[in-house]
Amino acid sequence: MADLYQYRETPDEPLDCLYILQSTSADPLDRLELSAKERKALKQKMKALSPRGDEGEVISGECPLEMAHRVTFIGVGDEKKLTHATLREALRRVVRQATKNHEYQIGIAIAVRIKGLAESESRTFALLEAALADYTFDHFRSKKNEFDKIDGLHVVPMAGETPEELEARLQRVRLYANSVRLARDLGNRPGNDLTPEALASTAREVCGDEAGLRVTVLGPKELVKEKMGGILAVSQGSEESPRLIVLEHRPKKPKKSIVLVGKGVTFDAGGISLKPAKDMGWMKYDMCGAATVLAVLWAAAQLELPFKVVGLIPSAENLPSGTALKPGDIITMANGKTVEVDNTDAEGRLLLGDALTYAERFHPDVIIDFATLTGACVVALGHEAAGAMGNDDELLEALVRLGEEVGERVWHLPLYDEYFSYLKSEWADMKNAGSRWGGAVTAGAFLQQFVPEKASWAHLDVAGVAWAERERSGLPVGATGFGVVLALSWLEQLKR
C-alpha cells in the first residue's frame, strides 16, 4: 500500500510523475495550492499538451517543475456528473498508468469535486478513494508483484488548504483506508484459510491488546450453554466448529450503546439445500458482513468514541453432510422461539437471530447488522446499493443520506407487518424462508423477531455490494469492504 504524504514533503529525489485529475469544466491549476511560478510553468505545459478533461483521457509529458519528472493529466469528464464511482475509475487509471511505467513515487492533484458534496467532504472522500486505488490481494501468490507497486502518494494541497488541515484529513483517510483494506483482505481469504476458528484468532490478533478492544470468543461449548440453536444448527454439517466473536470498545461512562452485527459464514454451500456448482466459489464472501464489523471495530477503537461500541460476529460454515441440518428440521433459537428450517441455504438469519438475541445484554440504543443475506436483494437493487430495513425510519433515512455522501449507497426497503405472515409455519413459530416473493424483506421480517425490544435497528443486506465479480465502478475484483466507511462516518457523526 502506498503511503500518503503531503506534496511539500517531497523526498530528495524528484517524484516519478505528477498526476493531475481534470474535468471538462474547470482549470485544475487554479484550484491547487501552487506557487505563482509553478502555476505558470504548468499552465504553459498544459497549453502545449492541451488535455480536455474527457473521461478516460490520459495525457503525459515532461514535467516543467523540479518536483517531478513527468506530468500526466487524467480526465474525469463533466464535473457536474462526477460520482464516487467515476472518481474511483479515474484513480484506478492513475494506478494502472503508474504501475505500467514503474513509477514508485507519484504526486496526485485531485482538482475536482464529487457531485452533491460540500467541498470539505468531497476532499476527504476523494483522498480516501486515492488511498484505496492501488488495492490488490496477492497474499496467495507465490510470486508477489511488489516491484510494480507504488510506494508513495504525494498529495498536492487544494488552494487555501493549510498543511495542518491536509494532515488532519490524511490522518482520517489513513485510518479509514486501513480499515477498508482490512475488511477486503478478510473478505478475499478463501474458506480453507479463513474458517470460523481462524476468523476468531484473527479478531484476537488484530483487535486485541494493541488495538485496545476487549475480545471474547464463544466456542461450541459456550454456544450450547447460551442455547444458540441457530448458530449450532448451521454449523452441524461441517467439521469446522462455530464461533461467536464479541468485540467491545468500552469507554468510561459511555453515553450510548451501539451494537454492530456481521454475518460470518466463512463458506456457504447452501447445506442440504445445495447451491448450484456454478460460481459457488464466490460463497467464500458470505462473511463480508463480519469483515466489515471487525474492521469498523478495529478503527472505532482509535476514534475515541464516547459510547460503547460492540461488534458481534456469529461465524460458521454451511455444508451438506450426514450430520447437516435438513429441510423440515425444527430448531430452537437463543430467545426460545422455534424455527422450521424450510431451506438450509437461508442460514444467515439463523446465525443473526442468535446474535441479535445476544445483543440484548449490551442494552443497545442502536443495532445495525451487515449481512450478505439474500439473492433477492441483488435481484432488486443489483450492485448499486445495499437494501436497508428496520424499525426506525429516522435511522434508516440517516443511513441512506450518509451512504450517498460516502459512496456506499443504501436503499430503504419496507418492512410491513404482513411480510412476517409469509413465514408462517404449520409446526413451529416461523419458517426460515418464505416463497419466492419478497425474499429480501421476509429475511428482514425474520430478523425482527430477534431484535431486543427497545433498540433502534437497521438491517443492511449487502449481498449485492459486498463483492465485485469483475472490476466495476473502479472497485477491484473481490471483496469491496462495503459498509466500513458508512459505519465509521455514522459513528463519527454520532460523536458530534
Where does this chain bind Zn ion (CB under 5 A)? 268, 345, 347
How many other β-carbons are positioned within 10 Å of the β-carbon of residue 106? 24
Q: Which is nearer to Zn ion, 274 or 303 (CB)?
A: 274
Q: Which is nearer to Zn ion, 257 or 432 (CB)?
A: 432
Rounded least distance, CB 269 to Zn ion, Å: 8
Q: Which is nearer to Zn ion, 185 or 345 (CB)?
A: 345
Residue nearest Zn ion (C-beta atom) = 345
Identified catalytic residue from 43, 115, 256, 275: 275
- Beta bridge partners, 332, equal 338
Q: Which is nearer to Zn ion, 89 or 345 (CB)?
A: 345
Closest CA to 200 of 222, 173, 181, 178: 222
Closest CA to 286 of 302, 300, 268: 268
Given a contact cutoff of 8 angstroms between Cβ atoms, the answer to whether 233 and 323 are in contact is no
Contacts of 201 (CB under 8 A, 6+ apart): none
Task: Return d(Cα 398, Cα 386) in angstroms, integer.
Answer: 14
Task: Return d(Cα 176, Cα 2) in angstroms, integer.
Answer: 14
Closest CA to 91 of 17, 20, 194: 20
Helix (H, G, I), strand (E, B) or coil at 452: coil
Contacts of 291 (CB under 8 A, 6+ apart): 182, 183, 184, 186, 187, 262, 479, 481
Helix (H) or strand (E) holding 75: strand 68-77
Rounded least distance, CB 80 to Zn ion, Å: 42
Q: Which is nearer to Zn ion, 16 or 268 (CB)?
A: 268
Rounded least distance, CB 374 to Zn ion, Å: 9
* Cα-based distances in Å from 376 to 270, 336, 440: 15, 28, 5
Rounded least distance, CB 449 to Zn ion, Å: 19
Task: Return d(Cα 349, Cα 323) in angstroms, integer.
Answer: 20
Rounded least distance, CB 271 to Zn ion, Å: 7
Work out the widest C-alpha separation in the chain, in whole angstroms: 80
Given a contact cutoff of 8 angstroms between Cβ atoms, the answer to whether 105 and 11 are in contact is yes
Type of residue at 204: R
Rounded least distance, CB 368 to Zn ion, Å: 21
Task: Return d(Cα 327, Cα 345) in angstroms, integer.
Answer: 10
Q: Could you confirm whether 349 is annotated as catalytic?
A: yes
Rounded least distance, CB 260 to Zn ion, Å: 21
Type of residue at 494: L
**DSSP 8-state code for residue 477:** S
Q: Which is nearer to Zn ion, 15 or 272 (CB)?
A: 272
Q: Which is nearer to Zn ion, 317 or 347 (CB)?
A: 347
Q: Could you confirm whether 275 is annotated as catalytic?
A: yes
In sequence order, what DSSP letters do the residues of 354-406 get, joined into one string?
HHHHHHGGG--SEEEEEE---HHHHHHHTTS-EEEEES-HHHHHHHHHHHHHH
Identified catalytic residue from 349, 424, 454, 472: 349
Active site residues: 275, 349
